[in-house]
């Protein structure tokens, strides 16, 4: 066997392994999607509850195009399937990259992945149970009486999915801070010293990601400030001891 053949063989094996992992990931997602399809209407009903509960009695959503009432629940079902299948998808990605990691990298990657997944779910749950009811209550309370709220099914779905993504991604802040510290780009001391700038940046980010109302902006900014403090403590705890002593004042 030539040197070129020996070099190409591991590459081909990695590509075959990657294809197998992708197929398994898609098959798992497909199974979850098929299991959720019969509950498409129920899922959308639950998703619409935070808004419907704030509307006048007897008022509901509309579909501005004939297919809107059909495709909106299907679209929600697909995103719900992805949401539910995230642990399986991450496991397939982890099983592909884990053999190439050092033992310490594997020990750190597992809790980081688990924390990232849990924080994303917590962020979405926080948005659904607390943020959306408060936002819709605020918007419906302060609207002029001459304006009737008749939300479109697809527009509402896009709005809620954007809120879920914004809060889920924002709740990843401690994990991002820990990764930056582990990479050596910043130190816990620098994170503490930059706390004031971080708070200003958090409020600016909250104003960009949330609807133009004070309620949702505060409900995103305040938890992110708490998570920033949590990220400082977590990064200090996970930082290698020799680096921690060097960075300490």
> What is the tens place of the pLDDT at every residue in 2-46?
445 555 567 788 889 999 999 999 999 999 999 999 999 999 999
- Contact between 92 and 183 (Cβ < 8 Å): no
Cβ-based neighbour number of residue 110 at 10 Å: 12
Query: What pLDDT is stored for residue 8 in this prediction?
Result: 57
Question: What value, to the nearest 5°, has the Cα angle with vertex 132 and ends 128 and 135?
Answer: 165
End-to-end Cα distance, the chain: 58
pTM of the model: 0.86
């Amino acid at each position: 066997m030539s040197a070129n053949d020996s070099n190409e063989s591991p590459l081909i094996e990695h590509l075959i392994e990657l294809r197998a992992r992708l197929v398994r990931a898609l098959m798992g997602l497909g199974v979850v999607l098929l299991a959720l399809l019969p509950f498409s209407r129920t899922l959308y009903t639950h998703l619409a509850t935070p808004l419907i509960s704030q509307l006048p009695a007897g008022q509901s959503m509309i579909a501005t195009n004939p297919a809107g009432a059909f495709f909106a629940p299907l679209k929600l079902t697909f995103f719900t399937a992805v949401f539910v299948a995230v642990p399986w998808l991450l496991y397939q990605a982890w099983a592909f990259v884990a053999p190439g990691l050092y033992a310490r990298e594997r020990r750190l990657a597992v809790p980081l992945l688990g924390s990232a997944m849990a924080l994303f779910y917590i962020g979405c749950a926080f948005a659904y149970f607390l943020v959306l009811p408060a936002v819709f209550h605020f918007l419906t309370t302060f609207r002029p009486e001459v304006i009737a709220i008749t939300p479109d099914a697809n527009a509402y779905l896009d709005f809620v999915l954007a809120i879920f993504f914004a809060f889920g991604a924002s709740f990843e802040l401690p994990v991002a801070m820990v990764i930056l510290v582990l990479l050596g780009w910043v130190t816990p001391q620098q994170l503490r010293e930059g706390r004031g700038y971080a708070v200003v940046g958090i409020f600016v980010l909250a104003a960009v990601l949330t609807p133009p109302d004070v309620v949702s902006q505060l409900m995103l900014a305040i938890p992110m400030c708490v998570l920033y403090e949590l990220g400082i403590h977590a990064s200090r705890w996970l930082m290698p001891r020799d680096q921690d002593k060097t960075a300490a004042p």
